[in-house]
Chain A
Amino acid sequence: MSVAARCRSSLLLAGLLMAGNGLAQAHPHVWITAVSELLYAPDGSISGVRHAWTFDDMFSTYALQGIETKQKGVYSREELGSLAQTNVESLHEFAFFTFAKADGKKQKFNEPVDYYLEYKNTALTLHFTLPLKTPVKPKELVLEVFDPAFFIDFKLAEKDPVKLVGAPEGCQMKLQRPSDGTASAQKLNEQTFMGDGANANYGAMFANKITVECP
């Protein structure tokens, strides 16, 4: 082997080694089952989104750690009040994991209102409403719920995950769920590993996409 060839091969190897080293893939520690409602104003424009997010067993227990209650194991809405507030305040940092586009234009949300926590069947559910900064009346609205960094695994509820509340006649809704890992595990996609900035869209692979088209 010539010196140059040797150098090249070893550098290639070094590059691979370092790329492999750095290839970071996040994994979730929190699972959320989401039920969402799209809220329509009387004039047919969309005014906001109402979420009900149910945390998994383990995270629910973790979140309840140290909260004093009158009756052991029973948490009233009032007793969970400050935790609910902490929740929505923390969610601000992550844009509430809710991303809306009206006719392709990104929409902004105001701070959440009407938020509270509910404890039922060993699981915590966070209810909150995200008002749109400016109500919109688009032909097509795309709403996505996901964590771009995939530390939280969002899953739309099996049954009736999305409701249109007060939507005008003729509005059609489509749902797109993330493919679960097992089904696609057989598909080795080079892009996942080699693609330019593959990690950037990492969480988007797990996005729940809701598309509403109105006439």
Chain B
Amino acid sequence: MPVRFESGLARTLVLGVAAVAVVLAFDGAVHLLMAQNPFGGPRPPAAAEPQIGGIVGWILARQSEFYREISATIRAAKSDGSAVWTLLAISFAYGIFHAAGPGHGKAVISSYLVASQETARRGIVLSFASALMQSLVAVVIVAICAWLLNATASTMCNAEKMIEIASYALIAAFGARLVWTKGGGFIRALQVQRPVPAMAAAQQYHRDHRHDHDHDDDHGHVDDAHDGHSHGPVPSELEGPGGWRRGLAAILTVGVRPCSGAILVLVFALAQGLFWAGIAATFVMGLGTAITVATIAVIAVSAKDVARWLSGAGEGGGTLVMRGIEFGAAGLVLLLGAGLLFGYLAAERVTCL
């Protein structure tokens, strides 16, 4: 444990850097929150007429293409049943590209995974489960509103809006809970940095709690069993049955809001008398979405693992950095939820025209 016995200067440095990290993360989030306000006035066009470029431009172009082909393919399927296969293929591709845009829980799932020391495997399961739920919700909304009740688009849109608001509130609540638990861990990690008397207490704490986290070993987080363990959740909240309940909260939070694209496709299919094809397309789309979200979730978890290695977890400074990252990720979920809820941030706005 070289860090703990280094000079006060080193400790101060570590603390400072950790603080900067949190500030940076929050600044980035706030920036993001302020950037996209659909209700704001027109923004002055940039002087140099920025071009939409690179990967983002390419993804946008692809997903627009796929989406616009969906309606043509559904029409074609009316007379030619084999077009349904084309429809499924396009929907799958659309799902993959589409999820690269906001509103499919990438940010929430990734931040959640980073905040709560989850494994990549669980990230994948969460991504698929939430995408499946998103598809289900879309099908249920259209089946009830359009098919059973023959409600108008504006009624359906209002229902969507309500679900949207509820889902943002859920994200905010979920984030608040994460901040609450992670805040405790971060503060304790800060205390570990204090001079010797406090250190001793922390060491004591460390020993007491060590066995609670040994199961992390099963999931490849060998470091976790040795890294000072000052994160907040009580043991029942980690893996095991309690952990799955917590995972379920993440799935519900992300999955309750359906993708507007799926709703449009379903209503369109229904109008063409091919509702079942729309349902199939929606689930295939969800599968594509899940693949993208899972990929990003795995990248997030791996990046955190690299960060753990770089910061030399096991040393006091490393623990602080890791707890700081977790705290920052938790804060990001809260900010995302609050930003979406209060309209500072636009994900996939439900378009009620």
Contact = CB atoms under 8 A, between A and B. Distances in A.
B329 A31 contact: no
Given A65-B270, A185-B57, A201-B43, 14 more contacts: A3-B2, A4-B13, A6-B310, A6-B312, A11-B24, A17-B307, A21-B111, A26-B346, A67-B152, A83-B154, A86-B353, A148-B42, A192-B52, A195-B50
B68 interface: yes
B328 interface: yes
A16 B302 CA distance: 13
A7 B317 contact: yes
A204 B101 contact: no
A62 B264 contact: yes
B101 to A, nearest CB: 4
A174 B52 CA distance: 22
Nearest to A63: B153
A181 B293 CA distance: 23
B61 A209 contact: no
Given A14-B307, A95-B42, A148-B43, A202 B36 contact: yes
A56 B61 CA distance: 16
Contacts of A27: 60, 63-64, 98, 101, 348
B68 A206 contact: no
A22 B29 contact: yes
Contacts of B20: 11
B106 A21 contact: yes
B79 interface: no
Interface of B: 2-3, 6, 10, 13-14, 17-18, 20-21, 24-25, 28-29, 31-32, 34-43, 45-46, 49-61, 63-64, 67-68, 70-72, 98, 100-102, 106-107, 110-111, 114, 146, 150-156, 260-261, 263-265, 267-268, 270-272, 296, 300, 303-304, 306-308, 310-312, 315, 317-318, 321, 324-325, 328-329, 332, 336, 345-349, 351-353
Contacts of A121: none
Chain B at the A interface: SS class: helix
Nearest to A94: B38
Interface string A8-45: 11110111111101111111111100000000000000
Given A63-B353, A189-B53, A149 B64 contact: no
Nearest to B101: A27
B50 to A, nearest CB: 6
Contacts of A111: none
Contact of A184 (B36, B52, B325): B52
16 contacts: A4-B10, A14-B324, A15-B28, A18-B24, A22-B332, A29-B67, A31-B64, A66-B151, A87-B353, A91-B353, A181-B57, A182-B61, A187-B51, A199-B36, A207-B45, A209-B45
B310 A10 contact: yes
A65 B271 contact: yes
Contacts of B41: 95
Contacts of A198: 35, 50
B45 A144 contact: yes
A210 interface: no
A8 B100 CA distance: 29
A22 B107 contact: yes
Interface residues of A, number: 81
Chain A at the B interface: SS class: helix
Given A22-B332, A64-B153, A204-B45, A3 B6 contact: yes
A23 to B, nearest CB: 8
Interface of A: 1, 3-4, 6-11, 13-19, 21-31, 56-59, 61-67, 83, 86-87, 90-91, 93-95, 99, 106, 144, 147-149, 151-153, 179-182, 184-189, 191-193, 195, 197-207, 209
Contacts of B28: 15, 18-19, 22
B290 to A, nearest CB: 17
Q: Which 6 A-B pairs have the closest CB atoms?
A: A181-B61, A66-B152, A199-B35, A188-B54, A24-B102, A99-B42
Contacts of A91: 353
